[in-house]
Amino acid sequence: MAEVKDYSKYFNKPSLKEAKSRKRLNVNIETFTTAKSMADIGKGKNYHIKTYGCQMNEHDSEGIAGILEQLGYVVTADETLADVLVLNTCAIRENAENRVFGELGRLKPLKVTNPDMILAICGCMSQEEAVVNKILKKYQQVDLIFGTHNIHRLPEYLHEALISKERVVEVWSGEGDIVENLPRRRANSVKGWVNIMYGCDEFCTYCIVPYTRGKERSRMPADVINEVKELAAKGYQEVTLLGQNVNAYGKDFKDRDYTFGNLLEELRHLDIPRIRFTTSHPHDFDELMIATLAKKGNLMEYVHLPVQSGNDTILKRMNRRYTRESYLQLVRDLKTAIPGVSITTDIIVGFPGETEEQFQDTLSLAKEVGYEGAYTFIYSPREGTPAAQMEDDVTEAEKKDRLRRLNEIINKGYLDGNMRFQDQLVEVLVEGPSKNDETVMSGYTRHQKLVNFKADPAVIGKIVQVKITEAKTWHLFGELVENASDTSA
Ligand code: SAH
Ligand code: SF4
Ligand code: F3S
């Protein structure tokens, strides 16, 4: 086989060493622009994006779609018709990565039927040195690899890939800048995501994100507030503020003392019915945040508060910077300040060396908190992270069994959390018809409970009152209460 050469002017692979450093002092704020020469490179062509991973990635895909549409590309639901096919990938666990490698194999024949198609990989996997090396060696069908810090440069990379017909690989390992004004093609017209910060400086020992997303950088409060106002003006009913650790918002500002609590306080006064945020690291949850959330209004009675483990030794080895007791105290404070608050979490089982006793601490904590939902995971070693070096003597069978036992408690929590709304009147933001029945509408309550009820599609995009008639584990059933004019909290 002929040697594959890359003469492209864009050929920069990621470096783990560089991704670990946090040496840059200042983060620049750039404004997105597209060169006129590229204005219609997508004219008459289609694009298709597949997104894996968290909300951050979902929202990045909205930016990628926005850029592609600005270049003239039109979205297609049929991947076989795509002239540009983007896989926006996630690196959080091994199975997430394996799915993408599987997809690459499955998509290979498309390059035979349409040799001009550009197959692009971006997202967190492309920030990993080992992954990029593997793709370069084994997946010749990939034409373009770009990272999480340089999405805004996509027009140039596409242009280069199209004219040079060579592979374009451009991944920046150091933290990126903040890019404002990225065009967005939002997937939903009722609720939208708003980035408040990028990156993560927590370095939990199991986690790849600080390496794939770089240093913590907060957007300016005015930029966040303006984006929320713009969405409100367009009729959006809900925004979710995004960050790997929103509680660290503002800590990187050099010119002002301004934290997440201050931001919530300002957003609270805006004319948007609902504000949510994800994710909160328990360590940085402060009094101002709690006191502000307690004012409710457009701030929902719902907190996603990842705990990861209920055992102090494991928490320490995870570098989580809180103890079981300080976490439980935070939960008590939240419950006191915000009566009826719904708390959900993330938990990892089978962290290297986790004993049965230590796992029992996680089970007892889950019961004590009374989580109303959780994402539960089996630990997956990530190359380059400290935990991947720790001795792991927990067998796969044991890890699976722990996950099963934990999920029994968590599923009961989902049901209990729904049961408490039996016969109650709740506010539902209606998103659209339910999956299985066009005459049934679906939406979420302030506490983030899924409700299904019979109604006319005219209620889509509105906040309505629903009387709950039946509580199941995964959703509530109810009846629309007509003419309920007061929908305030
Ligand atoms: N920034 C968020 C979550 C990021 S990843 C936060 O800290 O809250 C989402 C979840 O994936 C984490 O909360 C954790 O439970 C899980 N996770 C992260 N790395 C993992 C790994 N190596 N193996 C298994 N689960 C992992
Ligand atoms: Fe990963 Fe921890 Fe950062 Fe969350 S806070 S993204 S788990 S390093
Ligand atoms: Fe995955 Fe990256 Fe999000 S690793 S969970 S897509 S930040």
C-alpha distances in Å from residue 433, one per residue of 168, 213, 454? 42, 35, 9
Looking at residue 161, its amino acid is A
The residue whose two tokens read 């929202």 is 59
pLDDT at residue number 7: 56
CA distance 56 to 395: 32
Contact 198, 213 (CB under 8 A): yes
pLDDT at residue number 30: 87
Tell me which ligand sits closest to the C-alpha of residue 280. 1
CB atoms within 10 A of CB 330: 21
Task: Strand 118-123: give its sheet, edge to edge.
Answer: 11-12, 168-170, 144-146, 118-123, 84-89, 46-51, 74-75
When computed from its CA atoms, the radius of gyration of the chain, rounded to whole angstroms, is 23
* 463: β partners: 429
pLDDT at residue number 10: 85
Distance 233 CA to ligand 3 centre (A): 30
Residue 85 is classified by DSSP as E
CA distance 485 to 464: 9
Distance 459 CA to ligand 3 centre (A): 34
The residue whose two tokens read 């596409």 is 158
C-alpha distances in Å from residue 196, one per residue of 242, 270, 404, 434? 6, 16, 35, 31
pLDDT at residue number 53: 96
Question: Is pTM, for the whole model, over 0.75?
Answer: yes
* 97: β partners: none
Residue 280: what are its φ and ψ, rounded to 5°?
-100, 130
Distance 481 CA to ligand 2 centre (A): 42
Looking at residue 302, its amino acid is Y
pLDDT at residue number 423: 98
* Ligand 2 atom 2: residue of nearest CA: 204
Each residue's pLDDT tens digit in the chain (489 positions)?
445 555 578 889 999 888 888 877 678 888 888 777 787 899 999 999 999 999 999 999 999 999 999 999 999 999 999 999 999 999 999 999 999 999 999 999 999 999 999 999 999 999 999 999 999 999 999 999 999 999 999 999 999 999 888 899 999 998 778 999 899 999 999 999 999 999 999 999 999 999 999 999 999 999 999 999 999 999 999 999 999 999 999 999 999 999 999 999 999 999 999 999 999 999 989 999 999 999 999 999 999 999 999 999 999 999 999 999 999 999 999 999 999 999 999 999 999 999 999 999 999 999 999 999 999 999 999 999 999 999 999 999 999 999 999 999 999 999 999 999 999 999 999 999 998 899 999 999 999 999 999 999 999 999 999 999 999 999 999 999 986 554 444
Q: 263-298 as b/e, with b when 16 or more CB fall inside 10 Å?
A: bbbebbeeebbbbbbbbbbbbbbeeebbebbbebeb
Pocket test for ligand 3, best of 50, 51, 56 (most atoms within 8 A of CB): 56
Pocket test for ligand 1, best of 348, 376, 394 (most atoms within 8 A of CB): 348
Q: How far is C-alpha 150 from the chain's CA centre?
A: 18
Q: Helix, strand, coil proportions of the chain in percent (round to 5)?
A: 35, 20, 40
Pocket test for ligand 1, best of 195, 207, 371 (most atoms within 8 A of CB): 207
pLDDT at residue number 37: 77
* Ligand 2 atom 5: residue of nearest CA: 202
CB atoms within 10 A of CB 381: 14
Contact 288, 266 (CB under 8 A): no
pLDDT at residue number 126: 98
Distance 388 CA to ligand 3 centre (A): 18
Distance 214 CA to ligand 2 centre (A): 11
pLDDT at residue number 355: 98
pLDDT digits (tens, 9 = 90+) for 81-114: 999 999 999 999 999 999 999 999 999 999 999 9
pLDDT at residue number 165: 84
Q: Is the CB of 139 under 6 A from ligand 2?
A: no
pLDDT at residue number 449: 98
* Ligand 1 atom 4: residue of nearest CA: 244
Q: Is the CB of 320 under 6 A from ligand 1?
A: no
Contact 245, 203 (CB under 8 A): no
CA distance 352 to 318: 10
Q: Is the CB of 406 under 6 A from ligand 1?
A: no
Distance 265 CA to ligand 3 centre (A): 28
